[in-house]
Chain A
Amino acid sequence: MRLVNHLIVRITLIFSVIMLLWTVVYLLLQMREIHVGNDEGLINLKQEFIARSNRIDGFVETMEKQSPLNLAVREITQQEAEGILEHFVTTTIWFATEEEREEVRMLVSAFRCERNEKFYRLEFFTSTVETDDLTKNMLYLVCGLWLMLTLSILAVSRTVITRANKAFYELLGELDKFHLDNSKMIALPQTRIREYVQLNQSVKELLERVIRSFTDQKIFLENSSHEMQTPVAVAIAKLELLLEKQQDQPENAAEIASILAILNRLKRLNTRLLLLSKIKNNQFPDVREIDLGKLVDEILVDFRELAEYKKIAVTCEIDEASVCRMNEDLAYILLSNLIKNAITHNEEEGSVAIHVTRDHFSVANTGTEAATQVFDRYRNDSHNRESSGLGLSIAKSICDLYGFSIGYSFEGGMHRFVISF
């Protein structure tokens, strides 16, 4: 989960719960207030009624007879009156006008009229329909408010957090793009937030150190490989001369020849390391359109005798004129390495199938078991001492340089390398 979303969800959830609690408390308080208001109204009505009854002759009797909408008066005995404790009830009554029962709040009480000395039971009521409506409206309003606030918090926290973390995400994006091979410093995002300024600074220093040591190492590797060429050249030349002189001494000659063989291995290894480091440093700037089909044909001519000698049937299928932009020498090195690999690491009387399409190059050869970590340097499953073990690693580097993907698979007894351009 993204940090921003994580924060937003947390903040919004917490705030919405807090606001929900507040809303409930507010609603309950408001409803209580409304009920208390109703009840007070009924008590006022009762007091007014009793006052009028005591002041005006025949008021009670008239009221008892007329039975107005909001009260009911009934004469009772003193015992009954003493049994009535003033209280409120919520009940329903039949309203003839509305032709339905409605919920009402009712005050039940009893009193003794001072005018005629009689006891009466009093019922005052008021419809709660309106207050219910009011409560309902309030509920809607409050819920709406709650929703609006939640949404606002969501929007505000989102904006604020995203803005505040912009530098952080930009830095992450830049770090993602960072590649040691091109040794280019990333663009640090502008920010005023102190922690991010600090983070920028630390990242900058770290990357600079990494780039510097990587570059140093690269230069060192290249220089030392270069410097080694001349002494090796001298040693090889001198030994070849010595070999000439020792021709009639077979034992010495064989000894010298074995040293020469070792020096030659060193030389080849060195050449390949130099090539690898040059590919990684992109020192092959001369890029042009390469006709892969034509190139494959040329390479196959070079390897024809080798394939014949190993009794390997090479089939080549070139679908469409596949053209890709790359350095000519690297294209040759790439394809010839793969094809050579398929021919040499093959079974007796095996086969090699090459397939070139518009955006793929694949080469498959017969084999017994799947190889692992084929692109690693010095990985050499065949334990062949003469192989530098760098061929496939070079192929991989070339593909990386041009953004091609190269894959290896083993199925149906065939090793297969596929390059997608």
Chain B
Amino acid sequence: MKILIIEDELALMQAMEEFLVGERYVVEKATNFLTAMDKALMYDYDCILLDINLPGGSGFRVLEEMKKEGKSGNIIIISARNSLEDKILGLDSGADDYLTKPFHLSELHARIKAVWRRKQMDGKQNLQMGNVLVDFVERTVCVDGESLNLNRKEFDLFSFFATNINRLLSKEAVAEHVWGDHMDMADNFDFVYSQVKNLRKKLKDHHADTVVENVYGIGYKLTI
């Protein structure tokens, strides 16, 4: 998968690049408005991560120009501005998702995967891991064809683990993915812990190939 990162903060750019390269994405970079316009209009990408505040122009103009040219990359806006108007404006201008800085890299990854899945032509959004099948449309998880009875939060958890398989996820990133960023995390970590415990038990009972590892003091990791 080919990804274009448009971001003027070099340190953040480097971190994202390193992470995404680690996930075997091909990464292109643009650090200012003009380069961003050039690359976005000239090439096709599977996903574009777009910062709004760019030296030389606004990220919204990149969106508009792409729309004019009939280009539809899977665009995720990454902005420090957590305002609803920006979110609405961005989504109206053709962006697919809006992520507010600061974010967890695992969350970014989950969003990229989700956006990409939504654009799949066959409409099926399945992910097979050993004998475990995740259906993102029906929101179900099957082990050897047998459905796991997961509640909503448990499915959210498992899909987040599944998109970030083999990756160590901090409990903050997990809690935030499950709760969104409006919530205080008070008391939620032990709740997340209990949900993970249930999930792990259900996977084990069905002899799934995937295992949720508990990395003590840090978080969780789904391995196969």
Interface residues of A (CB under 8 A from B): 226, 229-230, 232-238, 240-241, 243-244, 247, 250, 253-254, 257-258, 260-261, 263-264, 267-268, 271, 274-275, 278, 283-284, 286, 301, 304-306, 309-310, 327, 329, 332-333, 336, 340, 344, 382, 384, 386-388, 390-391
In the assembly, what is the distance between CA of A73 and CA of B168, in Å? 142
Among A241, A278, A309, A391, the one with the most B-chain Cβ atoms within 10 Å of its Cβ is A309
Q: Which residues of B contact A232 (CB under 8 A)?
A: 101-102
Residues B173-224 near A (CB distance < 8 A): 173, 176, 181-189, 191, 194-195, 215-219
In the assembly, what is the distance between CA of A387 and CA of B83, in Å? 23
Contact of B12 among A234, A244, A386, A390 (CB under 8 A): A234
Contact of A391 among B152, B153, B184, B216 (CB under 8 A): B184
Report yes or no: B105 in contact with A268, Cβ–Cβ below 8 A: no
Report yes or no: A240 in contact with B218, Cβ–Cβ below 8 A: no
Q: A241-B15, A257-B218 are in contact. Are A236 and B185 (CB under 8 A)?
A: no
Report yes or no: B82 in contact with A274, Cβ–Cβ below 8 A: yes
* Interface size band for B: 35 or more
Digit string of B134-159 for contact with A (CB within 8 Å is 1, else 0)?
A: 00000000000000000111100000
State whether the Cβ of B167 lies closer than 8 Å to any Cβ in chain A. yes
Report yes or no: A230 in contact with B170, Cβ–Cβ below 8 A: no
Cβ of B89 to closest chain A Cβ, rounded Å: 12
Q: A344-B187, A386-B185 are in contact. Are A230 and B195 (CB under 8 A)?
A: no
Cβ of A270 to closest chain B Cβ, rounded Å: 9
Summarize A's interface: helix, strand, loop or mixed. Answer: helix
Closest 7 CB pairs of A and B: A233-B102, A387-B186, A237-B15, A257-B218, A233-B101, A229-B80, A264-B172
Cβ of A178 to closest chain B Cβ, rounded Å: 28
In the assembly, what is the distance between CA of A305 and CA of B102, in Å? 27
State whether the Cβ of B72 lies closer than 8 Å to any Cβ in chain A. no
Q: Which residues of B contact A229 (CB under 8 A)?
A: 80, 100-102
Report yes or no: A386 in contact with B168, Cβ–Cβ below 8 A: no
Report yes or no: B15 in contact with A386, Cβ–Cβ below 8 A: no
Q: Which residues of B contact A268 (CB under 8 A)?
A: 181, 184-185
Contact of A305 among B151, B167, B186, B217 (CB under 8 A): B151
In the assembly, what is the distance between CA of A238 and CA of B14, in Å? 9
Q: Which residues of B contact A253 (CB under 8 A)?
A: 168, 215, 218
Report yes or no: B182 in contact with A286, Cβ–Cβ below 8 A: no
Q: A253-B215, A257-B218, A387-B186 are in contact. Are A230 and B9 (CB under 8 A)?
A: yes
In the assembly, what is the distance between CA of A327 and CA of B85, in Å? 12
In the assembly, what is the distance between CA of A253 and CA of B215, in Å? 10
Report yes or no: B80 in contact with A244, Cβ–Cβ below 8 A: no
Q: Which residues of B contact A390 (CB under 8 A)?
A: 184
Contact of A237 among B22, B105, B151, B182 (CB under 8 A): B105
With A230-B9, A237-B105, A241-B105 known, 20 other A-B pairs at CB within 8 A are: A226-B81, A229-B80, A233-B9, A233-B12, A235-B102, A237-B16, A240-B170, A243-B168, A244-B168, A250-B216, A257-B218, A264-B176, A271-B100, A284-B84, A305-B191, A306-B188, A309-B195, A386-B184, A386-B185, A388-B184
State whether the Cβ of B32 lies closer than 8 Å to any Cβ in chain A. no
Q: Which residues of B contact A254 (CB under 8 A)?
A: 216-218
In the assembly, what is the distance between CA of A267 and CA of B185, in Å? 12
Residues B77-129 near A (CB distance < 8 A): 80-85, 100-106
Q: Which residues of A contact B152 (CB under 8 A)?
A: 301, 304-305
Report yes or no: B184 in contact with A340, Cβ–Cβ below 8 A: yes
State whether the Cβ of B18 lies closer than 8 Å to any Cβ in chain A. yes
Q: A230-B12, A236-B104 are in contact. Are A247 and B168 (CB under 8 A)?
A: yes
Q: Which residues of A contact B15 (CB under 8 A)?
A: 234, 237-238, 240-241
In the assembly, what is the distance between CA of A16 and CA of B74, in Å? 90
In the assembly, what is the distance between CA of A390 and CA of B22, in Å? 38
Report yes or no: B191 in contact with A309, Cβ–Cβ below 8 A: yes
Beta-carbon nearest neighbor of B80 in chain A: A229
Q: Which residues of A contact B172 (CB under 8 A)?
A: 260-261, 264
Between-chain CB contacts (< 8 Å), 15 pairs: A230-B101, A233-B80, A233-B103, A234-B9, A237-B12, A237-B105, A241-B18, A253-B215, A254-B216, A254-B217, A271-B82, A309-B195, A310-B191, A386-B184, A386-B188
Q: Which residues of B contact A329 (CB under 8 A)?
A: 84
Beta-carbon nearest neighbor of A275 in chain B: B82
Q: Which residues of B contact A386 (CB under 8 A)?
A: 184-189
Q: Which residues of B contact A235 (CB under 8 A)?
A: 102
Beta-carbon nearest neighbor of B15 in chain A: A237
In the assembly, what is the distance between CA of A264 and CA of B15, in Å? 17
Q: Which residues of B contact A275 (CB under 8 A)?
A: 82
Cβ of B99 to closest chain A Cβ, rounded Å: 10
